[in-house]
A and B are shown apart, each in its own frame.
Chain A
Amino acid sequence: MAEMTFGKAINAGLRRALERDPKVVLMGEDIGRLGGVFRITDGLQKDFGPHRVIDTPLAESGIMGTAIGMAYRGYRPVVEIQFDGFVYPAFDQIVSQVAKLHYRTRGHVRVPLTIRVPFGGGIGSPEHHSESPEAYFAHTPGLRVVAVSNPQDAYSMIQQAIASDDPVVFFEPKRRYHDRGEVDEGIGLEGPGGLSMGAARVAVPGEDVTLVSYGPLLKTCLDAAVAASDEGVSVEVIDLRSLSPVDYPVVEESVRRTGRLVIAHEAARSGGLGAEVAASITERCFYHLEHAPVRVTGFDIPYPYSKIEHHHLPDLDRILDGVDRALGRPNSLSGLEEGE
């Protein structure tokens, strides 16, 4: 076990992947000598050379398309998108090409591509640097989409994503890059505890309410569980890890016990992961629900300027309020919503 920051854990996982497989190459803007704008690839070009840690021109579609061609040629590219808001120029290459190539070539061409995207807000960034675009990709057949919430998962899941023969969009909560945590470096592609990037994890067991989240809000949800327990409410927190596909059996098992579901994410509400989880769980265990599923999310607004971003981002109070709603207790919407 070693204590390391979230960012360092990804760096260490990338290093292991580069050591393990000579076909792994990292590509992105400023990832070489600079080590990336968040320093996630710090030192890797120095140790593995400019052929394996490649500084590219500033062209996200170009990077993505070039990475696809390298996959054709037998490589296992890991692309860094500098910030969430800059993944959109690569959207066509991801949706029309990355996601479909295995299918279109009847499996003759594999696309073992990992797309790393630092995402989410809360660090006072300028415009286009705080987005949560995960739902676009979770909606796209042919992609696996994951989000990591802690250093151990970051270290292990980046290796699993790279080892996957299918394309993986890998979301990293940039406001957690400096959080520290214990990392067992023995847990890589597989390890004790059955860690798998496809498996949801019960982060805190509980009995009264199931609180589902991923990425940057997981920590806030853990804090909410502690605060709720002070009021005698037992919250079970589930870290989805995988956003596509969602590991529904873990969520369903929990909701069958608690009868109450809250989903929290930073991304805008409409058409988001929360809607998908709420619908799927309702389909799966409707008669076990004691209350309609509750979403605690960002608003349906362009990401606000950072002076007021805290109004947009779900915080401890809003998540606790969501827990109150799921319990049918007095809450901020009491008297506002029909049926509340």
Chain B
Amino acid sequence: MQRVQGLGRSGAAGSAAPPVPELPAVPPMTAPELREVYRLMSSVRRLDEAAVAWQRQGILPAYAPLLGQEAAQVGSAFAVDRERDFLFPTYREAGVARTLGVDMVEYMSTHRATWHGGLWDAAEHRLAPIQAVVAGSVLHAVGWAHGQRLAAASPGDPQDPVGGLGVAVAYLGDGASSQGDVHEAMNIAAVFAAPVVFFVQNNGWAISVPTERQVAGGSVAARGAGYGMPALRIDGNDAEAVVSATRRALAYARAGRGPVIVEAVTYRRGPHSTADDPGRYRTLDDERRDAGADPLERLRARLLGEGLANEAFVAECDAAAAAEAEAVREGVLALGPRPGAEMFDLVFAEPTEELLRQKAQWRKESEHG
């Protein structure tokens, strides 16, 4: 029989790779925190269901529902430091945006086909624009995070983080994890020890292809070992598990120890988008079997069961969520087309002569049209 012998870093036969570091522990969530997360999840659930209805009503051309991922999205965004962290979403992160306090009319503008990426100020809200090239922004998170290290190494930098680094959070899914950019991002982040949390929502499906046909080995978190990077694989439908795991990952990155993967296992209860037809690739029985308990109902049951909130609180959250969704609906309806001149004016910081020429031509043609 052939004998295969491994080599360690020292080159000495048989020595093992260094162990992946442990993440720090964090205290359990307080009752007010759990109630706040529930309030946000209620709001996100209502808004998400409303957005699907708006698409059916012709108000939105398309929408990508997040039904079932409320705990993963609200929990992870709830854990960040909104003063110094920066988040990079894909196109299914309405729950993240809502938790960060982004104006949801500005968020929905992209689904309203009013502006690609959304109308909010990315720098001010510390949330990058919506990203449909799903792995594209994962690298941006790494670069932003590396910038934190450079700033920390430059005394006098006005953005020099005090009391720990700002952390970038890169959102990605099981589908995006197949992209080469995700490997490059994780490798570069680990080589640079960049303070970034790769927050993977493994929702079981990349449009029509299930995780087992997408992710070799079945887990994105398992790849962390190869990068020497700590990784947590958690129940993404348990809000407290998400908050705690994200907090542990953030604390590790903030201390300058490097990147972390958090893989939140959840379930995409709805279609990929309002243009999708899940009946072609999974049955209702499959959905009932695989979805598990609803994350919002789980948290409600816990709050009520442990006496952390009462029925009146739940009713109040529901009423507030309904009122908010209605206000967003009115705002979305009022969103008209942007001025056409912006097509030309916003391409460059300093517009080119050629573009100004084309703009003048467009204006002339459109006025005569």
Contact = CB atoms under 8 A, between A and B. Distances in A.
11 contacts: A51-B150, A57-B187, A57-B191, A62-B185, A70-B144, A72-B123, A72-B140, A73-B147, A108-B123, A144-B348, A165-B350
Nearest to B141: A69
Contacts of B124: 108
B311 interface: no
Interface string A55-72: 011010110111111111
A72 B148 CA distance: 11
Contact of B136 (A67, A93, A102): A93
Contacts of B147: 69-70, 72-75
Contacts of B181: 61-62, 65, 92-93
Interface stretch (B17-25, B249-257, B267-275, B351-359): B351-359
A97 B346 contact: no
Interface size class of B (residues with CB under 8 A): 35 or more
B247 interface: no
Interface string A94-110: 00110011111111111
A225 B257 CA distance: 61
The 7 closest A-B pairs by CB, nearest first: A69-B143, A65-B139, A73-B147, A62-B184, A66-B143, A104-B117, A165-B349
A72 B146 contact: no
A102 B349 contact: yes
B86 interface: yes
Interface string B339-369: 0001000111110111100000000000000
B236 interface: no
B15 interface: no
Given A56-B188, A59-B187, A75-B147, A105 B129 contact: yes
B119 interface: yes
Contact of B117 (A73, A105, A110): A105
Residue of B116, B140, B347, B350 with most partner-chain A CB within 10 A: B140
Nearest to A101: B129
A248 B357 CA distance: 12
A165 B349 CA distance: 6
A59 B139 CA distance: 11
A105 B139 contact: no
Contact of A67 (B86, B143, B342, B346): B143
A160 to B, nearest CB: 12
B123 to A, nearest CB: 5
B145 interface: yes
A151 interface: no
A65 B349 contact: no
B154 interface: yes
A59 B348 CA distance: 27
A166 B348 contact: yes
A100 B142 CA distance: 19
A57 B188 contact: yes
Interface of B: 86, 115-117, 119, 121-124, 128-129, 133, 136-148, 150-151, 153-154, 159, 168, 180-181, 184-185, 187-188, 191, 342, 346-350, 352-355
A109 B159 contact: no
Given A104-B116, A165-B350, A246-B354, A61 B129 contact: no
A18 to B, nearest CB: 13
Interface of A: 22, 25, 51, 56-57, 59, 61-62, 64-75, 92-93, 96-97, 100-110, 141-142, 144, 164-166, 198, 245-246, 248
Given A93-B136, A164-B350, A245-B353, A61 B184 contact: yes
B362 to A, nearest CB: 14
B187 A65 contact: no
Nearest to B147: A73
A64 B191 CA distance: 16
Given A56-B188, A62-B187, 13 more contacts: A62-B185, A66-B143, A68-B139, A69-B141, A70-B146, A73-B86, A73-B151, A102-B347, A104-B117, A105-B129, A108-B122, A108-B124, A144-B352
Nearest to B124: A108
Contacts of B86: 72-73
A144 B144 CA distance: 23
A192 B133 CA distance: 45
B143 A108 contact: no
B143 A72 contact: yes
B304 to A, nearest CB: 42
A110 B121 CA distance: 12
B136 A92 contact: yes
Contact of B139 (A25, A66, A100, A108): A66
Given A65-B181, A72-B143, A107 B349 contact: yes
Nearest to B355: A245
A166 B351 CA distance: 9
Nearest to B130: A104
B188 A73 contact: no
Contacts of B350: 164-166
Contacts of B129: 101, 104-105
Nearest to A164: B350
Nearest to A49: B153
B139 A103 contact: no
A169 B86 CA distance: 27
Given A22-B154, A57-B187, A61-B180, A73 B349 contact: no
B143 A70 contact: yes
Contacts of A96: 133, 136
